[in-house]
Structure 1
Amino acid sequence: MPRKTFDVIVVGNGVLGLSLGLELSRRGQDVAVLGEPHRPYAGSTAAGAMLGCFGEVTRTLVSTEAGRAKLELGIKASELWPDWLAGLGDGAAEEIVTADGTTVILNTIGTAEIDDVNFNIIRDELERYDTPFEDVDPLDLDWVDAEPISRPLRAFHIPGEHAVSAPALLTRLQDAFVAAGGTVVPSAAEHVDYEGDRVTGVTLTSGERLTAAQTALVAGAQTTELLDGTPVGSRIPPLVSGYGVSVLMKTFDGTAPTSVIRTPNRSFACGLHLLPRADGEVYIGATNVISVQPRDIPDMRDVVFLMQCAHRQIRMGLWYSPVKKIQVGNRPVSVDGFPLVGAGGMTGLWVMTGTYRDGLHLSPLLAGEMAARILGEPGSVDLDLFAPVRRPIQTLSRERIVNDTYEEMFAIGPEQDWTLPADWHAWIEMDLRPALARWADEIDPEFTPPAELLFGSRLDQDLLKLLREYYTRTREQW
């Protein structure tokens, strides 16, 4: 590699990293985007890539200031996508966009506390923000052919929430970045280099050093590993992985729906969703398991669970469809559940990650906002709430988080086809709610992690250790 000095180094070659690199290159900066070409542990490569924010809305999200701020970022991002796609070259939109809108279904599998509530909350927020949608009779969902005991009871269609092919988007972004004068470095960063309070660049896994006035960490779930070696790393919420499995299938009859078909978010995950791809292929997602270390190999339980959900809840004929590919991705999840976007606490250091399930959708907006800040210009939206150097964002009471954890845990049962004697529901609740409350007390007397991390820490000693150490550091440093 002949050149080793740049204006900006972007660590991470997923959708967010390439989008930032493209935005900066178009604004006259000499930019290097780093990352291994096959993108191990990335979220982008396995993403369903739904271009929407309302389909992800939950009661928990909109009940807090931080959650609503995140939703409104998503709404602004939606407005940018048509021009963003048009800027990726001739025919980009036709090549990348795969679905015409999103159809949200409420079926018999979920629980009232999760599915019914979130289904109605999505509708409420669409009305609040004057976003078009239309009710659909489930009997008119021609492509949907669920098992009778899993059939949809209600449905509505959001015409403005499309989906894209993440691989096609990555290809177009990288081509546009190179065409704009950007440099692709096919190697990962080993650590961040700094002198005193100034970041000077990165050292690659090959041992080579790259220098720049500005370095942006956009490395998803692996960003914490890079921050750990810096003086500011202990003051930024650590990231864990929301490991997920998705499947590409060739449908048995060569057909696919025209829109995304999805349920509301449930069971700590982003709801069951099926997206059309070209030539009779469909994408099915997704699972979500919190893991301290990013994963690249799926567990059998997640693959079996996902495919069972798809053929039972959406289309029985998928049972006869060949599986073309099983994909694994890692969503970057901060331990308080909110993005890390902005100045990294050292001169020349920037962080843009922790976007959980929303990174690809937010990419045009965050790329523009981060580029402006790197260049010393004011942004158009307020991102101060999500500044990387911060105390944990605590938006909900411990009692509320414990309640949410219990409800999400209980919602796993119906999707796994469990059957319980009627009185067992009350017995489980009597024992499980107090056990979760005691567990939250054991983690920390003051801070409570989001529901999925509270749940996961009971099974994962590494996650428990990470949380306890982070909360202790927070009290010492703030």
Structure 2
Amino acid sequence: MSARRQDVIVVGNGAVGASISFELQRRGFAVTRIGRRTRPYAASLAAGAMLGCFGEVTESLLASDHGRAKLDMDHRARTFWPEWDQQLSEDSGDETSLFTAHGTFVILNSAGSRAVDSGNFHAIERTLREYDEPYETVDPEAMDWLTPNDLTRSLRGLFLPGEHAVDSHRLLTKLDEAFVRRGGRLLDDEVTAVQVDGDRATGVQLASGDVLAADQVVVAAGARSLTLLENLPEVLRRIPPMVSGYGVSVLAETEDGRVPSSVVRTPNRAFACGLHCVPRADGVVYLGATNIISVRPRQHAAIGDLQFLLGCAVDQLHTNLSEASLRSVQVGNRPVPADGFPLVGSAGVQGLWLATGTYRDGLHQSPLLAQHVAALVEGKVSEFDFLTAFGPVRSPLAGATREQVVATTVEHMMATGWEYRWNVIPEWPPRIERHLGRHYAAMVDELHPTFTPPAELVAAMTDDLRVALTRYYAAWS
């Protein structure tokens, strides 16, 4: 097929890809954005879209300079959203605000574990003080709407007035409309490979077999991004491999039409985001909690994961949610790199850029990432110089020491048991902890003498993941 040449092709139409496309089009580029209209596998459609920075803090995040840099990235990204909301309203012609919740309640309840839930709750509070961020200590029993089962009642609460939420579906719709109104081109198709001539990207190959040419290519296809670089093996082996953080969420209509006015969530727990409830319009709430590491993205929810999510929501948030109407079940795949940090910048070939690996923060960071990537495509120096540490072609970044990773893996595995309300005799937990500690220590020692993957990947290790990690570590040994 003979196709008209574009300045830039953006592969991916989740929040990150759509935001980058819109920002490039605003800056005068001719942009073609490619992705299936239904957005299969995308994390954005299933996202709670909490604009959280401090609510996402964990003890593990604070354990390294790279984790601190990621926290600073989230903190700066949060400031973009009021202007981004206004810009999209103007360019899309839809004046409806993206915001659906104002402020966030973080609750510490009796459903999780002391090591993980209490540890992360205290980490959130310490970090709020460190950043001089306004917050209030609240009594959960006095909170509006929250009505948990007595066995999982909340013990402590914090209110974060600066952490809001947006409607992810509305965001994607407005990004589409604003992009098209600016002259951008949407292509309902799938990219199978990036085309390269020598050391320069020249375009992409489509599922139909056609080739679309471009001066520059931005790959922002979430958890599937690196599969598009398989024809560049020498580059690919030096980029952290990625897995999918598959998650399930639901939209539910409450029986009495009442919803909280703010986000209600727990701290992050047991390899996952915390249990969270986000108000949407007309008596509808978004419920989410799950994050399961999978080597390949999933398109449909596992019944057990859905059952777990709904059980947690009814027990820990509002017992009357058992009478709510289930409007939809959503599945998303978060892009999780082998070292746990974003892949943003040059992909090792001229004119080829990556914007992925954002794990749970992609939608929140999307306006900032759009500014950063657009500056790189323009050939300018980005104002976000701290993001250079997250360039895709890199040796593994350390988020913690090996001993800390093993200890965290054990703590989270034990926390999973408590979340599922296991009933074991008192002497078993310490025995299980010792066994798991020896098992995980031996596993990471076998992988590499010094490089260690994050706890989530250690706990979810498979033969395929072990092969991918070994190949990547060998490239930097």
Greater CA drift, 441-450 or 129-138: 441-450
Structure 1: distance between partners of 2:298 and 2:143: 36
Structure 1 counterpart of 2:35: 35
Structure 2: distance between partners of 1:228 and 1:235: 12
Structure 2 counterpart of 1:440: 444
Residue number among 112, 132, 140 corresponding to 2:114 in the alignment: 112
Structure 2 counterpart of 1:151: 153
Structure 2: distance between partners of 1:221 and 1:474: 23
1:4 corresponds to 2:11: no
Structure 2: distance between partners of 1:405 and 1:250: 36
Structure 1: give runs of 5+ residues left out of the alignment. none
1:263 corresponds to 2:266: yes
Greater CA drift, 191-200 or 225-234: 225-234
Post-superposition shift, 1:224? 1.0
Structure 2 counterpart of 1:373: 376
Structure 2: distance between partners of 1:317 and 1:327: 21
Maintained 8 Å contact 1:86/1:92: no
Structure 2 counterpart of 1:88: 88
Structure 2: distance between partners of 1:194 and 1:283: 42
Taking every aligned residue pair, what percent have the same amino acid on both sides? Answer: 49
Q: Which amino acid aligns with 2:316?
A: Q
Per-residue CA distance 1:202-228 (angstroms, 9 max, x = gap):
011112211111101101111110112
Structure 2 counterpart of 1:71: 71
Greater CA drift, 394-403 or 146-155: 394-403
Structure 2 counterpart of 1:188: 190
Greater CA drift, 439-448 or 87-96: 87-96
Query: Where in structure 2 are the equivalents of 1:118-267 lying within 5 Å?
Result: 118-230=120-232, 231-267=234-270
Maintained 8 Å contact 2:347/2:392: yes
Structure 1: distance between partners of 2:51 and 2:363: 8
Post-superposition shift, 1:317? 0.7
Structure 2: distance between partners of 1:160 and 1:397: 32
Residue number among 367, 379, 385 corresponding to 2:389 in the alignment: 385
Structure 2 counterpart of 1:97: 99
Q: Which amino acid aligns with 2:35?
A: G
Point out 4+ residue stretches in structure 1 off by more than 4 angstroms: 90-94
Maintained 8 Å contact 1:4/1:209: no
Structure 2 counterpart of 1:330: 333
1:283 corresponds to 2:271: no
SS at match of 2:216: strand
Structure 2 counterpart of 1:398: 402
Per-residue CA distance 1:210-267 (angstroms, 9 max, x = gap):
1111101101111110112124122111111100011111112211100110000000
Structure 2 counterpart of 1:306: 309
SS at match of 2:237: helix
Q: Which amino acid aligns with 1:169?
A: L
Maintained 8 Å contact 2:19/2:370: yes
Q: Which amino acid aligns with 2:182?
A: A
Q: Which amino acid aligns with 2:458?
A: L
Structure 2 counterpart of 1:350: 353
Maintained 8 Å contact 1:291/1:463: no
SS at match of 1:420: coil
Structure 1 counterpart of 2:422: 418
Structure 1 residues 92 and 137 mapped into 2: Cα distance closer, same or farther (>3 Å)? Answer: farther
- Cα RMSD for the two superposed structures: 1.4
Per-residue CA distance 1:309-351 (angstroms, 9 max, x = gap):
1101111111121211111100011111000011111111111
Post-superposition shift, 1:472? 2.5
Structure 1 residues 93 and 123 mapped into 2: Cα distance closer, same or farther (>3 Å)? Answer: farther
Structure 2: distance between partners of 1:420 and 1:92: 55
Structure 2: distance between partners of 1:244 and 1:4: 38
Structure 2 counterpart of 1:16: 16
Maintained 8 Å contact 2:399/2:454: no
Structure 1: distance between partners of 2:229 and 2:476: 16
What count of residue pairs does the alignment treat as equivalent? 473
Greater CA drift, 204-213 or 332-341: 204-213
Structure 2 counterpart of 1:467: 469
Structure 2: distance between partners of 1:209 and 1:257: 49
Structure 2: distance between partners of 1:81 and 1:93: 15
Post-superposition shift, 1:470? 2.2
Greater CA drift, 226-235 or 247-256: 226-235
Structure 2: distance between partners of 1:408 and 1:93: 43
Structure 1 counterpart of 2:51: 51
SS at match of 1:232: helix
Structure 2: distance between partners of 1:395 and 1:152: 31
1:450 corresponds to 2:440: no
Structure 2: distance between partners of 1:352 and 1:111: 35
Greater CA drift, 257-266 or 319-328: 319-328
Maintained 8 Å contact 1:85/1:92: no
Structure 2: distance between partners of 1:406 and 1:109: 18
Post-superposition shift, 1:50? 0.4
Structure 1 residues 240 and 216 mapped into 2: Cα distance closer, same or farther (>3 Å)? Answer: same
Structure 2 counterpart of 1:317: 320
TM-score by length of structure 1 reads 0.97
Structure 2: distance between partners of 1:220 and 1:355: 8
SS at match of 1:337: coil
